A and B are shown apart, each in its own frame.
Chain A
Amino acid sequence: MPSIKIDGTVFEAAEGATILEAAQQAGIRIPTLCYLKDANAIASCRVCVVEVEGQEHPVPACATAVRDGMSVTTDSLKIRAYRQVALDLIISDHGLDSTRYCFSCDKNGACELQALCREYGVLEPTYRQAKEHKPILDANPFLSFDPNLCIVCQRCVGACNATARNHTLATGKRGVRTVIEAPFGEDWLATGCESCGNCAQACPTGAIAVKRRGGYRSWETERVRTTCPHCGVGCQLDLVVKDGRVVDAEGAPGPSNQGLLCVKGRSASFDFVDAPDRIRTPLVKNSATGEFESATWDEALDLVAARFAEIRDAQGGGALAAFACSRATNEDIYLFQKMARTVFRTNNVDCCARV
């Protein structure tokens, strides 16, 4: 294991680790912007630059491997100045004067660029340039892309290609400029985009955003970690809750999803919670009137259990079948088939999880 000195203290780093990883492991923060773990380490923003003893030029911590005996300085006047200029150049091309001012941006308060600029005292752009406002792509029902706010950090590209592996969001060229080509325009249905929104979750600014973000401010919310109810994969997600109502979902690190979500998990698994026509109690049909009437769980379950037992005893278990919803978790489906086999005495079990 290589040993590395960071800001004067010696640490053991993992084999093949980058300076950034070694510092994170040692509990030392190096600011990053374009870096996104497992998705993007292209060293383009130069915010994570650090000094390495014996090297003339600063190096990006996210993409520089640790060498045994390396001595790294993560903060100095020189480094701060480089970071400030990098941030200054980035906000100079961030469309601050264009489509959305910081305060009206959906990511206000949750914008990594905003936070870094505040931290480094970069309060306004030095290198102002008049820019034509480019049209916002928002034909996709869930996602929008505002190229004026895009800082071309390529985190979305990494999210779409390296992690989600959808390969629909890529960089394109406008002469010498590299731009992000997000598939959210009028032809969005014709693209391979699955609207999973991992790009939006990867975006450090408000350029690519989940549209429902407009409905809340991050400081108004709290997060509740849960398992996605949409299928049996068991993705971990954080429900974003504002005033007791679920307003959004974000991918959380879980063993099966590694922070990713699909379109269903991100955009379709919680609106029913507050749906006005949601059934909130068990209903039992009154055979006389033909109407459903509210019942307690005990009443409903007793009725169901009694009727199933009758059928089973009269006709045998083969008369019964158990069919589970694909939205149940693996654990629930396991218990369900167990009940079918032991209580219903039938092997007629299935689930629609193959959809």
Chain B
Amino acid sequence: MGETLAKLSIASKVEDDALLGAFLERHGRRIAAMPPGICPVAAQLSLLQAAAAQTCGKCVPCRDGLPRLVAMIERVAACEAGEDELRACRSLAEMVRDTSDCAIGYEAAQALLEGMDAFASEYESHVRSHGCREGVKQSVPCETLCPAHVNVPGYIALVEAGDYAGAVGMVRKDNPFPTACALVCEHPCEAHCRRTLIDAPLNIRGIKKYAVDHAPADTVPIPVHSADTARTVAIIGGGPSGLTCAYFLALMGHRVTVFEARKQLGGMLRYGIPAYRFPRERLDEDIRGILSAGSITARCECPVGLHEMGEIAETYDAVYIAIGAQTGKTLRMDHADAAGVMSAVDLLGRIGDGDYPDFSGKRVVVVGGGNVAMDCARTSVRAGAAEVTVVYRRRKEDMTALSAEIESAIAEGVEMIVLQAPVGIETDEAGRCAALITQPQMIGPVRGGRPAPIAADKPQDRVEADVVLIAVGQDIQAAPFEEYGLETNRGCFVVDEYLAVTGRDNVFAGGDCQTGPATAIKAIAAGRVVARNIDEYLGYHHTLRSDIPVPQAHENDRTPRGRVEITERPARVRRNDFDHVENGMSREEVEQECGRCLRCDRFGFGVSEGGRQQYA
């Protein structure tokens, strides 16, 4: 080296680093595809092994401590270690955390220690009972992660085979809203798709959309319901959860009455999601299907208060409360009640019954970063607003809205002003809203898993606005039910794991009014669970069998391919109307997408006893 000191080499010091990039991307995909049901100790071990492999070999705690920790956790993971060894492991990890020179060492030990606390009961099971806790078992990722446990590989195979009605029927076995979920589901099924190991998760929602586009739900016959039981069930709330419960109870032969406060059925699918994302006529396809399942009487414009609840509880054999979270949260700030300031939920609710606003020439500001905020912003664009701005107190990447929604809003001309917290409304002489006053924020420490904003040392700002839409969350109108004597916690109904309200065996609650505002598919799953539990409560054990055969699996296609994404109509066109924004896949595209399915119901643990997670 001495003789070349004067000259500089441009050659990379570590040639393989560039090459390694692709392999590390693979590593990342493997972590992304972590199968549901994996033992948390095993998952931690793999993280620790990765850390131990990263050590540069300089310092004792990391160089020697991490491999020792790996060996110890290997024994813990294999359920061979005792409590003493686990204690020894903890104290070694504390030493590594406290004395490592760099983050390669101390972060690895910190992660291990945090995991030991987070998964304390699993660790305890390993060292005391020498086995994982019951339920630690892998299962088919998509089906497991779908809250309603829809047989995803089954309907993908049916779409591939061209049997779209079969696919709709397969979805409907667990979820009577195939169209809603094809169009607006947040697709948790895709999160740990095993295909991620090879290229990317399947576009499961897109495949389902192809099925319902080619076999509309109301054209696919509903299974024949069981014999009439003459037992009556009242369902309060005609949204996704209530209607799901009604559907399955009707199939079981029970007589269902749905009490809906609004003019039409559908809940937030109609009164919360704009038509350009979920056209009303498509929602009606699902609802027509549901109502044809058996004895379902829908009583719209029938709000249930204290008096009605008393009557219902006395009249019906069982009650399901699925009233959702219908009122918009408000912000406590000056002039929050000025003309022009309105709740996002109210705006979308009125649109649900066809009362579209006219924002022609107006400057609209939406406060919030969730899907409802995006829905409002995009609706305002379509309502003719001159400019639409979303004001959010965190960063864009912290928004809870789906990133596709954010992107679409931006494409349609919505401006995102981030790191600004609303502090007040500026009014004009007439008391009308003129601007939103904001306090700039800076992103700060991570709290509860995500970075929290703190007030920045900057002067207040103002965003001119004729209309301010508040989209900062929703509340549950639980008051009449609380008065009736049902237990709630911060407005949410308190239930047991079977969704029976505390202290009641025939009153159940589920969906948004029990969980707080969440997704349609979670509400659907709750309706499915309650239907079964009401059936059990009534003394029946109806089984809802599906006789749709799942096509044989073909061998895995191991060739990496891109994921087919659903495209949208051009922003400059779609922003002018409320028509559906999405285009469908072509047959060619859906075939490639279905062909990527690794059929985890047939390959891997899915084929073993206990390898499926299904309600049916």
Q: Which residues of A contact B (CB under 8 A)?
A: 16, 41-43, 55-57, 59, 63, 65, 132, 154, 157-158, 161-162, 170-177, 179, 181
Contact = CB atoms under 8 A, between A and B. Distances in A.
A174 B609 CA distance: 17
A257 to B, nearest CB: 21
A169 B279 CA distance: 50
A172 B132 CA distance: 7
B131 A176 contact: no
Interface in B103-143: 126, 130-132, 136-137
Contact of B609 (A43, A132, A162, A177): A162
B552 interface: yes
Given A173-B132, A173-B136, A175-B45, A63 B607 contact: yes
Interface string B75-102: 0111110000000000000000000000
Contact of A175 (B39, B602, B610): B39
Contacts, number: 57
B78 A173 contact: no
Contacts of A59: 555
Interface string B580-616: 0000000000000000000000100001111000000
B386 interface: no
A21 B364 CA distance: 68
22 contacts: A16-B552, A42-B608, A56-B558, A65-B552, A132-B80, A154-B608, A162-B609, A170-B610, A171-B137, A171-B610, A172-B132, A172-B137, A173-B39, A173-B131, A173-B136, A174-B79, A175-B45, A175-B76, A175-B77, A175-B126, A176-B39, A177-B78
Contacts of B610: 170-171
Contacts of B555: 55, 57, 59
B41 interface: yes
B137 A176 contact: no
Contacts of B76: 175
A175 B607 contact: no
Interface string B23-39: 00000000000000001
Contacts of B607: 41-43, 63
B42 A175 contact: yes
A132 B80 CA distance: 8
B119 to A, nearest CB: 12
Contacts of B131: 172-174, 179, 181
Interface of B: 39, 41-42, 45, 76-80, 126, 130-132, 136-137, 552, 555, 558, 602, 607-610
Contacts of B80: 132
Contacts of B45: 175
The majority secondary structure among interface residues of chain B is loop
Contacts of B42: 175-176
B609 A63 contact: no
B243 to A, nearest CB: 34
B578 to A, nearest CB: 47
Contact of A154 (B136, B137, B602, B609): B609
A171 B607 CA distance: 13
A161 B77 CA distance: 28
Contacts of B41: 175
Nearest to A57: B555
Contacts of A171: 137, 608-610
Nearest to B77: A175
A115 B32 CA distance: 42
Contacts of A16: 552
Contacts of A173: 39, 131-132, 136-137
Contacts of A42: 607-608
Contacts of B79: 174-175
A171 B605 CA distance: 11
Nearest to A59: B555
B608 A176 contact: no
A170 B39 contact: no
A335 B427 CA distance: 102
Contacts of A158: 609
Contacts of A157: 608-609
Given A43-B607, A170-B610, A172-B132, 10 more contacts: A59-B555, A154-B608, A157-B609, A170-B609, A171-B610, A173-B132, A173-B136, A174-B126, A176-B77, A177-B78
A57 B603 CA distance: 14
A163 to B, nearest CB: 11
Contacts of A175: 39, 41-42, 45, 76-79, 126, 132
B153 to A, nearest CB: 15
A104 B7 CA distance: 74
B115 to A, nearest CB: 14
A262 to B, nearest CB: 21
Contacts of A161: 609
A174 B78 contact: yes
A215 B552 CA distance: 46
B286 to A, nearest CB: 33
Contact of A174 (B130, B552, B558, B602): B130
- Among A55, A65, A172, A179, chain B packs the most CB atoms within 10 A around the CB of A172
Contacts of A55: 555
B220 to A, nearest CB: 25
Nearest to B79: A174
Contacts of A41: 607
Contacts of B132: 172-175
A158 B609 CA distance: 7
A42 B608 CA distance: 6
Contacts of B552: 16, 65
A177 B130 CA distance: 12
Contacts of A43: 607
A200 B488 CA distance: 52
Nearest to B74: A175
- Among B45, B130, B602, B607, chain A packs the most CB atoms within 10 A around the CB of B607
B112 to A, nearest CB: 15
Contacts of B608: 42, 154, 157, 171
Nearest to B603: A43
Contacts of B609: 154, 157-158, 161-162, 170-171
